[in-house]
Every structure is written in C-alpha cells, then in structure tokens.
Amino acid sequence: MKKILGVLLGLAVCSATDAFAANCSGLPSAAQLRQAMLAAGKGPLIGGLFNGARMWGAVVNRDGEICEFITTTADPTQVWPGSQAIAKAKAYTANAFSLDSLALSTARLYTFTQPGHSLWSLGQSNLWHPGLTAPPSGGSGGNNQIAGGLIFFGGGVPLYQAGKIIGGLGISGDTSCADHEIAKRTRTELGLNPPGGPAVDDITYSSVDGPSVFTHPLCPTTYRNGIFIGNEPPATSY
C-alpha cells in the first residue's frame, strides 16, 4: 500500500510540474527574456533616465499567472525594487485587456483611466497581491500564481503566437515611455508580435500625433523608435 501511495504521489507531482510547463508553453524562459531585453536596449536610443539599461521584466501566461521575471543587471538591487511589482502588473494588465483581435498595450490605457474619463477607478478592480513580490535577493515571487495589479502607463504589451494571444510582457525600471520602447523591442526580439505588427499598439503622444483617447503624456527625454519626441513639460500647477 505504501508503495502504491508513493507512486501515486510521484505521478501527482509530475502532473503538477507538467501542468506548470504547459501553462507557460510558448513563452520565453528567464534566459531568453533577459537576452531579448538586453538586445532591445542595444538598438537606437531609448531615452528616459538610464536609456533602458536597468530593467525588470516579467511574463504572464493567458491565465495571468507569472511565468518568469528577471532583471537586466547582474545585481538586481541596482534596479528600482519597486519596479518588480510594476513589471508584473504591467504584464498582467496587457494580457487582461487584449484579445486575438485587439492588442492593447498599457500605454494606450493611460487617458481612459484618468479622472473624468470613462475608465476612471479601473485600477481598483484588481489590486496587486503584495505577498507575491520577491526580495531582490531572490525568492519565488509569485511564479505560477496570479498576482494581479493594473498599471495604465507605458511598459506592458500583449504577446502573440500564430495570431493568438498567449500572455503579456511587462517592463519597468525607467520612465514609462522608455519602458514601452524596451517592451516593444523585446516582443519583436522574441518573435511574439501581434498580427498587426509591432506598431499596432504603439505608444502615441497627443503633442505629436494629435488628440486621442489612446494617448500618453511625454516623459523626461522621450524617444520613440529611436527618434527624439520631446520632454515632459514642467508643472505649472498641482
């Protein structure tokens, strides 16, 4: 009887492991994610504060479960610790509000969620689970769990394979504009762009592209696709 129970327990563990692997099927491993993010930072200028050199990256599957999260630096304490949760929440958000037929980056949700607009308070609908943040020194950090959290500025993009959405990618560690640029380039490096191509859910700026409900404010030292766009204007009132 003990032997039978041992075999059954072993099969259960194997099944759970296989299920986890299947849940993240088609999504990048930690090594692949880091390689793609580093490659993304080597192209045309990213802008921001660090030119995209100090980043957290996170991937969730279609269920919103965290599959991988990494930093681009060898020492994770040299990336803003607060950006880990933001990267995971951006990945969750991009996946949560995208479909096979609609790729919606977190950058495109900015205006909708501001006071006076139609999705104001959306961020209260699915709060971040703080227990699923790992210390920079390491830890599970919510792998294979849904940490939730909703972020409505640049840095999160949905991931696609053969025209079907399979999850989301979140990037954080610089300005939101720079985060979006790295996320967009990383998705291309991974070969996981939406059917409409890498620019179908690209960030837009009202000062350049005209008024839109999908627009995003400028950041300090804003670049898009290697072209300088401008700077966030100084505050004149609060």
Domain boundaries, the chain: 26-230
Question: Which pTM was predicted?
Answer: 0.90
Domain 26-230, CATH among 3.40.50.1100, 3.40.50.720, 3.90.1410.10, 3.30.450.150: 3.30.450.150
Long-range contacts of 27-32 (CB under 8 A, 24+ apart): 27/59, 27/61, 27/67, 27/68, 27/159, 27/166, 27/167, 28/59, 28/68, 28/190, 28/192, 29/68, 30/68, 30/69, 30/70, 32/190
Summarised one tens digit per residue, pLDDT across range 116-164 is: 999 999 999 999 999 999 998 778 899 999 999 999 999 999 999 999 9
Alpha helices by DSSP H, listed for 28-70, are 30-40
Cα angle, residue 125 at apex, residues 238 and 112 outer, rounded to 5°? 50
Average pLDDT, the chain: 91
Q: Is the pLDDT of residue 237 over 80?
A: no
Q: Is the pLDDT of residue 15 over 50?
A: no
